[in-house]
Amino acid sequence: MKRMCVVGLGYIGLPTAAMFAKAGWDVTGVDINTNAVEKLNRGEIHIEEVGLGELVKEVVAKSNLKAMLSPDFADCFVIAVPTPHNDDLTANLDYVIAATKSILPYLQKGNTIIVESTIPPRTIDDVVAPILIENNWIVGDDVYLSHCPERVLPGRILIELVENTRIVGGINKTSAEKAAEIYRAFVKGDILITSAISAEMSKLMENTYRDVNIALANELAKISEKLEINTLEVIELANRHPRVNLHLPGPGVGGHCLAVDPYFIIEKAPDESVLISNSRKINNSMPTFVVNQVKKLFNNRSKIAVLGLTYKGNIDDVRESPAMDVLEILKEEGYRLGIYDPHVKQEQVYFHLSTFDEAINDADCILVLTDHNEFKIMDEEKIINCMNNPVIFDTRNCVSITKSEIKYYNYGNLYEMNVPSYTHA
């Protein structure tokens, strides 16, 4: 049985480790989080992802997956640690560097090393490879080094790990081919072989493309607010063009990918990445825009029931979530807050979490910041009975309201301006 060591048991590392274990590999997962290690060895998970709990329980029971606090000998090492940004928005590669150094005592000739962490261009060539070279390894000959970026959607990770096309970028062609053969253990999608630097850049551009397009939608929302236009109607009409696909506006952009990856490009080419940089500024401005709309409706003696802290619906991930920024601004403005998210545990956040009933009780406004399924249809009678002249401001355009006693705002009707719809013969 082939052995694998996965360093980093987060939202990517743990599903990846579990998938290889299901495919028959003997997998050791490594993390500095003692709780994550202990839970995994009990067949439990410390993150939320559809189907992952059942899969981990299965492969741990078969002894195909175990967790440790430090690496072990293996045929393949996968590095899947976080790459946050520093205060100056440059990439913090400390975890990648530490993970690479941690496997050095366990490396053997013929091993394959795969970095799945999202990294700036040239990180494999200029950061990871030199660490191996300094320890007397001939990279691409003694050991094989590649970058294979993840490209999965939370909530569908186990499906997309199998079905999505994978890009494998090697320090040389042999390294890429070795890594590609490893992924063929369970990947049914195409596996594209390229250079490490092309793989690094393609991953960043995938998320930057989405960030830029979301910025366009958010800028449209700002323009429409000023010109008293129904943003959502405009998007729906424009998207009837066969080559147009405008995104929907929201409270900002979050997650460890879209809100972070563009900075890795900006860092390497600041003068050339004007559009990317401006898109980041637009999306970062949206929490303030949301609060400004609240301020037009309510003074800071009001209570705001904030629903949703994660950056997208039906997950538990609050990393870089714009909802957290909205909360900070509301708190600074002096608003009373009731905060509810059915997917988030108290230990994940520093704001006090309430139940739904506690959050809306005596509230003046429900502010929806995440499109969880639980928020799409709410108990309208309870809202009417518990709130003061109930108002909902839905920044995710997801809530269905039927009762006229509840005033409902989203990006389409924030100011209740009736915009005529025109049809042309």
- Shared domain check, 81 and 198: yes
3-state secondary structure of 348: helix
Predicted TM-score (pTM) of the model is 0.89
Q: What is the CATH number of the domain that holds 68?
A: 3.40.50.720
Answer yes or no: 203 catalytic.
yes
Assess if residue 423 is contained within a domain.
no
Assess if residue 110 is contained within a domain.
yes
- Shared domain check, 61 and 176: yes
- Shared domain check, 234 and 197: no
- Single out the catalytic residue among 5, 257, 365, 386: 257
Whether the CA torsion 294, 299, 300, 303 is positive or negative: it is negative
Assess if residue 217 is contained within a domain.
no
- Shared domain check, 149 and 279: no
- Single out the catalytic residue among 203, 303, 365, 398: 203
β-strands 166-170, 144-147: how paired? antiparallel
Angstrom CA distances, 251 to 190, 324, 411, stand at: 35, 10, 10
Quote the CA–CA distance of 264 and 288 in Å, as a whole number.
24
> Considering 204, 219, 239, which residue would you say is the last residue of a domain?
204
Number of structural domains in the chain: 2
- Shared domain check, 320 and 268: yes
- Shared domain check, 233 and 198: no
Structural tokens at position 419: 């915009």
Alpha helices (H) along 156-268: 157-163, 173-183, 196-227, 231-238, 261-268
Angstrom CA distances, 153 to 64, 150, 204, 309, 376, stand at: 25, 9, 15, 18, 21
- Shared domain check, 396 and 300: yes
Assess if residue 283 is contained within a domain.
yes
List the domain range (segments joined by +) for residue 362: 229-409
- Shared domain check, 93 and 183: yes
- Shared domain check, 102 and 136: yes
Assess if residue 223 is contained within a domain.
no
Question: Taking Cα atoms as reference points, which of 88, 83, 125, 132 lies closest to residue 107?
Answer: 132
Assess if residue 274 is contained within a domain.
yes
Instruction: Identify the H or E element spanning 41.
Output: helix 34-41
Assess if residue 421 is contained within a domain.
no
Other C-beta atoms lying within 10 Å of the C-beta of residue 282: 21
- Shared domain check, 236 and 347: yes
> Considering 204, 237, 255, which residue would you say is the last residue of a domain?
204
- Shared domain check, 124 and 25: yes
Tens of pLDDT along the chain (425 residues)? Answer: 899 999 999 999 999 999 999 999 999 999 999 999 999 999 999 998 999 999 999 999 999 999 999 999 999 999 999 999 899 999 999 999 999 999 999 999 999 999 999 999 999 999 999 999 999 999 999 999 999 998 898 889 999 999 999 999 999 999 999 999 999 999 999 999 999 999 999 999 999 999 999 999 999 999 999 999 999 999 999 999 999 999 999 999 998 889 999 999 999 999 999 999 999 999 999 999 999 999 988 989 999 999 999 999 999 999 999 999 999 999 999 999 999 999 999 999 999 999 999 999 999 999 999 999 999 999 999 999 999 989 999 999 999 999 999 999 999 987 662 333 333 32
Assess if residue 38 is contained within a domain.
yes
3-state secondary structure of 393: strand
**Is 96 in contact with 128 (CB distance < 8 Å)?**
yes
- Shared domain check, 197 and 247: no
State the burial class of residue 358 (Cβ atoms within 10 Å of its Cβ: 0-12, 13-18, 19+). middle
